[in-house]
Chains A and B, each alone.
Chain A
């Protein structure tokens, strides 16, 4: 590095932010990683195992932890980035919560996503019925090594409800969250492995197995693990006298309505633009797309550009992505940042 060390602030300490911080620090840049939660790691922290190979999430977590262990990185937690402003002359100022202002040469926005609040699909009864849980909550149960109903009993039939808050005009989300289909398949297999006596049903609109080995996993789930797939959107859930969930769904392949009793219903909640990220974008004047995620400068070859000089985007603040794509996207953001800093 010539002259003084250049400084990059990264807003958001999830997968994208951590990877970008690590890559920049490796190249000798001074990095401040700002995370609003208590620990960096983002949504990954809740995860037990990852698709498509069920590797322990801990492996990726420890990789990322090591990545930000570089002495060039300062991690600030419990703090949110509230506003980013580029000044003529190249300085970018960043307002942090608690009225602190930091100066940097460039900023990477990696504010990520929020999980869809399942209570907004009230017909599924999340928060109303005991045994309606979300995919991350199931993951937490996996972490604990036991999947039980709220009363502690062992379930004999579990339903996985796809597309909760995704591809749903009624909640103003037209986008596909991409990772829920394969997550459902992964979790279904894990459930079947853990409790061979428990039936598992997936209720889907389309199975979007877009990534490498996803399709294979989907096939394996049916051929090896006997996971049942029913094409149809669940319309409503209720409980019967035995406190068992009853769902109504149309089996669109068989062309008939269906009623089914379940012990646990797992809602595959989708991704939405993070609320903190939206606030930051509104305050800083970043463009939001019709899906409410950050709109990058160019959809094909400028996917990390913000349109504001010195500010770059990384990860799921631009669109839903899996971990693989998030890490690639973060590295691309680093490449754009370095090109910008070298060009000045």
Chain B
């Protein structure tokens, strides 16, 4: 029993995972597109490499992002990751420095105490021992938190935690066993030899006082090695695979690789880099407002990883992007879901593999998705205009926004053409969100033609949904502006005279405008110019979804109403006079959900326009001016 045979499970596990990682990374690399390969190669020898190292240190080891969100959870992750890292580093140094020879195999560092039971009696070695014990204690404190979190997530400030598969469970148990077994193994060895520092030494001495420490020690060294070996072997099939994969993800991302619009090595790397930490579940409104607990990004990714049928999960998402905002690993969850939607129904994993090599199968799977053609759209004649206003279909359902925009532009003397006044063609975004890119492209081409022919320099839209697609998926010469940006421009260049409304208002960032397009400041500047702007508890990048999202075609009206009511409640917490948004869909949704007046930013500005009375004198005694005089 007193042989070194116990290191075998550890060695086997370690070499397995090393070889596996190399092979898997190579396959992933080979499957990258040519340009992504180049990006990665270039990234490896340049600045991105240093950035990646820094990011790995800050995020993968220190877990800075989680720390910011939840210090206790951050500490847990940090103590396990950074602690283990330090233990390995200093263990290796220890073995190198104090061991019998330099450049030892890894097992000598990991099981150093076994090979050097008497070590650390005096001098520098004694101090070093304190340090090593401290590190172990550091990890064990994190482990304790991990155990608490698993059984009572609420104590760690988590609303929900993910459900585990059986491989996850075994991997988890072996991970949990690693450090306590190391503690006990070292303690028994130290106890038998009268060595060790404050932790292993004291614990060892007390254990040795009533137990045959020398005989028991090997069992715990076996357990330690087995726990490590098992963990390494299960790594690729458990959630803990995220640990090595995240490093690769960071390198890839910093080299400039993005998700794109189809499955690739990068989406696979992202899938495996998910740690199932459950942060996305806690922020998901579908979960806490609508009581739907099985569609969150952690489950979506898990389904992808395990090749499950996740069509229902994929479809049932608001695409609001809050989860992506908080994901500590930085997985592009929105684009990933869109790719999956584009695929249509997910085939069984084996069939897909077979399908790869069977032409007929591929053809039939393409034919399965019914397609639609918009060839009936007539080519339109276009008048020339510098400024083109595109209201969008949703804005046509909120005519007060159109009326307000017309007033504002007239008041500022803007010469514009109203592109879809008599009804236009959809911008294409709803089809894209549903995964129908080909059909969307037809609409995009149709609208692009009109916009190009108009020779417009600025394209103004009132709908953030249109705005996003105009900016990202259209090739245009015109500058695309959301009306909040355009109004801000009019104010800045001084062409809009506005009064001040003595109202307290709160602003809701629409998903597609805020998180989707990064427009946070302009609407706030405009609102603050005409009214008193309150802060919302959830705003800017953490703004809530109104519940009306076009990104979900399966959610029932009842559930939507729950989300809308919850969001409206959060926004109107400080009882503002008015709830302002910048999206017709948000407006329509909130109008059903709150008693507070809901207005678009354009309506607010239009209300601050000078009354006709203030206009340069126009001697016309029509009924409207008379009324206005009476009111003014």
> Which residues from chain A sit less than 8 Å from chain B, CB to CB?
120, 122-123, 125, 128-129, 169-172, 235-238, 240, 246, 248, 259
Contacts and interface: CB of A to CB of B under 8 A. Distances in A.
Interface stretch (B92-100, B209-217, B318-326, B398-406): B398-406
7 contacts: A122-B397, A122-B399, A122-B400, A236-B396, A236-B399, A238-B399, A246-B422
Contacts of A240: 422
Given A123-B399, A172-B561, A238-B421, 19 more contacts: A122-B400, A122-B587, A122-B588, A122-B591, A123-B396, A123-B398, A129-B399, A170-B557, A170-B588, A170-B592, A171-B592, A235-B397, A236-B396, A236-B397, A236-B399, A237-B399, A238-B396, A246-B422, A259-B423
Contacts of A170: 557, 588, 592
Given A172-B557, A248-B423, A125 B592 contact: no
B591 A123 contact: no
Contacts of B591: 120, 122
Contacts of B561: 172
B470 to A, nearest CB: 21
A122 B402 CA distance: 12
Given A170-B592, A171-B592, A125 B557 contact: no
A120 B398 CA distance: 10
Nearest to A117: B591
A240 B396 CA distance: 13
Nearest to B396: A236
A248 B557 CA distance: 24
Interface of B: 396-400, 402-403, 421-423, 557, 561, 587-588, 591-592
A123 B396 CA distance: 7
Nearest to B423: A248
A170 B402 CA distance: 21
A292 B398 CA distance: 26
Contacts, number: 39
Contacts of A246: 422
Given A170-B592, A248-B423, A123 B397 contact: yes
A238 to B, nearest CB: 6
A167 B428 CA distance: 29
B146 to A, nearest CB: 44
A259 B423 CA distance: 10
A236 B398 CA distance: 9
A114 B183 CA distance: 72
B423 to A, nearest CB: 7
A120 B397 CA distance: 11
Given A122-B588, A122-B591, A248-B423, A169 B557 contact: yes
A125 to B, nearest CB: 5
A59 to B, nearest CB: 38
Given A170-B557, A172-B557, A248-B423, A128 B592 contact: no
B592 A172 contact: yes
B396 A128 contact: no
B557 A128 contact: no
Contacts of B396: 123, 236, 238
A159 to B, nearest CB: 16
A89 B165 CA distance: 61
Among the interface residues B399, B402, B587, B588, which one has the most CB atoms of the partner chain A within 10 A? B399
Nearest to A239: B399
B106 to A, nearest CB: 63
A236 B420 CA distance: 14
B423 A128 contact: no
A240 B422 CA distance: 8
Nearest to B393: A236
Nearest to B403: A128
B37 to A, nearest CB: 49
B397 A128 contact: no
Nearest to A240: B422
Nearest to A120: B591
B398 A122 contact: yes
Contact of A128 (B400, B421, B422, B588): B400
A128 B398 CA distance: 10
Contacts of B588: 122, 170
B564 to A, nearest CB: 9
B399 A120 contact: no
A115 to B, nearest CB: 16
Contacts of A122: 397-400, 587-588, 591
Contacts of B557: 169-170, 172
Nearest to A236: B396
A260 to B, nearest CB: 13
Contacts of A235: 397
Contacts of A169: 557
A123 B398 CA distance: 5
Given A170-B592, A172-B561, A172-B592, A125 B399 contact: yes
B523 to A, nearest CB: 20
A231 B421 CA distance: 25
A233 to B, nearest CB: 13
A283 B326 CA distance: 41
A76 to B, nearest CB: 28
A120 B592 contact: yes
Nearest to B557: A169
A259 B422 CA distance: 10
A246 B421 CA distance: 11
A128 B402 CA distance: 10
Nearest to A126: B399
B379 to A, nearest CB: 19
Contacts of B587: 122
Nearest to A132: B399
A300 B561 CA distance: 30
Nearest to B595: A275
Contacts of B399: 122-123, 125, 128-129, 236-238
Nearest to A290: B558
Contacts of A128: 399-400, 403
A38 B587 CA distance: 35
A128 B591 CA distance: 16
A246 B423 CA distance: 11
Nearest to A129: B399
Contacts of B397: 122-123, 235-236
Contacts of B403: 128
Nearest to A248: B423
A93 B510 CA distance: 48
Closest 7 CB pairs of A and B: A169-B557, A123-B397, A125-B399, A122-B398, A236-B396, A128-B399, A128-B400
A238 B398 CA distance: 10
B289 to A, nearest CB: 15
A246 to B, nearest CB: 8
B288 to A, nearest CB: 20
Contacts of B422: 240, 246
A235 B396 CA distance: 9
B383 to A, nearest CB: 15
A171 B592 CA distance: 6
Nearest to B591: A120
A33 to B, nearest CB: 29
Contacts of A123: 396-399
Nearest to B589: A170
A172 B396 CA distance: 21
A256 to B, nearest CB: 12
Nearest to A257: B423
B41 to A, nearest CB: 53
Nearest to B565: A172
A169 B400 CA distance: 22
Nearest to A119: B591
Contacts of B423: 248, 259
Contacts of A236: 396-397, 399
